[in-house]
């Protein structure tokens, strides 16, 4: 069995159909280093509700940003193979701070509050939005941002604002489609193509779109491989 399929099946997930939809080569060595990286320790270590109380800049940081309820916290759980490392909820507005998770002492993943949600107090939304934008444009050790987009809905105007911030600050980012299990394969393929076209002129965007499902584990091995590759470039 190819390594990709093995890695996928271990976390109860990727079948042959889904594996065929990703473009990672089965002999990509980073699939194995990514698996190892995320098979080790993963621990919450810091929460910040303002830029004044961020942790010291010791490690490479990778942040997960996106609209409320898009699946940021679930994706961190999916990557680390933990059910409840990051707190998730059916109701938008669950994550209200920047939550920092240490991965094997090598990097930090940051679970961000969601943006674009109107039903919590206006001041709170404004404070979170300010914090998100300030952190994204001002953190020197932020190596990459994953911008999560719901595979059912595509990029919305409120997402464009965050992409603008990242482009202006020249922070490298990649679009991850979430909840791929909720759409048919044909619709997913169309969404990937449309989203790629929409970001093609953006300066700091990775051209490639990563489809994922935290529910089935689809796309997790490839995302882990991306992160392992980034780390190896940084640690060189």
By CB under 6 A, name the binding residues for ligand GTP: 66, 68-74, 88-90, 92-95, 113-114, 178-179, 181-182, 213-215
Asked if 94 is part of the footprint of Mg ion (rule: CB under 5 A), the reply reads yes
Nearer to ligand GTP, 34 or 114 (CB): 114
Does the protein bind Mg ion through residue 82 (CB under 5 A)?
no
Nearer Cβ to Mg ion (72/210): 72
Angle between the 72-80 and 220-235 helix axes, to the nearest 10 degrees? 80
CB of 75 vs ligand GTP, minimal distance in Å: 7
Per residue, the 3-state secondary structure of 152-219, as one string, reads CCCCCHHHHHHHHHHHHHCCCEEEEEECHHHCCHHHHHHHHHHHHHHHCCCCCECCCCEECCCCCCCC
- Tell me which stretch binds Mg ion (CB under 5 A): 11-19, 71-79, 133-141, 171-179: 71-79
- What distance in Å separates the CA atoms of residue 8 and residue 23, rounded to the nearest whole number? 14
Q: How far is the CB of 211 from ligand GTP (least distance, A)?
A: 10
Q: Which of 4, 95, 99, 216 binds Mg ion (CB under 5 A)?
A: 95
Residue pair 99/86 in contact by the 8 Å Cβ criterion: yes
Spatial separation of the C-alpha atoms in residues 63 and 141, rounded to whole Å = 11
Position 73 contacts Mg ion (CB under 5 A): yes
Query: Least distance in Å: CB of 193 to ligand GTP?
Result: 20
Q: Which does 99 bind (CB under 5 to 8 A by kind): Mg ion, ligand GTP, none?
A: none
Q: Do the Cβ atoms of 225 and 60 come closer than 8 Å?
A: no
Q: Which residues bind Mg ion (CB under 5 A)?
A: 72-73, 94-95
């Amino acid at each position: 069995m190819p390594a990709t399929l093995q890695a996928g099946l271990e976390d109860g997930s990727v079948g042959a159909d889904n594996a065929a939809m990703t473009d990672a080569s089965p002999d990509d060595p980073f699939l194995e280093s990514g698996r190892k990286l995320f098979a080790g320790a993963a621990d919450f270590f810091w929460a910040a509700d303002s830029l004044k109380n961020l942790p010291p800049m010791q490690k490479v940081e990778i942040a997960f940003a996106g609209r409320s309820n898009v699946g940021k916290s679930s994706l961190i759980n999916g990557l680390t193979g933990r059910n409840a490392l990051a707190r998730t909820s059916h109701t938008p507005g669950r994550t209200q701070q920047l939550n920092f998770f240490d991965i094997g002492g090598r990097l930090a993943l940051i679970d961000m509050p969601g943006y674009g949600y109107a039903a919590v107090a206006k001041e709170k939304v404004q404070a979170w939005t300010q914090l998100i934008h300030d952190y994204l444009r001002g953190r020197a050790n932020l190596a990459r941002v994953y911008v999560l987009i719901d595979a059912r809905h595509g990029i919305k105007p409120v997402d464009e604002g965050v992409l603008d911030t990242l482009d202006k600050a020249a922070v490298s980012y990649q679009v991850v489609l979430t909840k791929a299990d909720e759409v048919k394969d044909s619709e997913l393929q169309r969404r990937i193509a449309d989203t790629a076209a929409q970001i093609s002129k953006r300066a700091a965007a990775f051209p490639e779109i990563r489809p994922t499902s935290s529910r089935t584990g689809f796309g997790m091995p490839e995302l882990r491989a991306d992160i392992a590759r980034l780390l190896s470039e940084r640690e060189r």
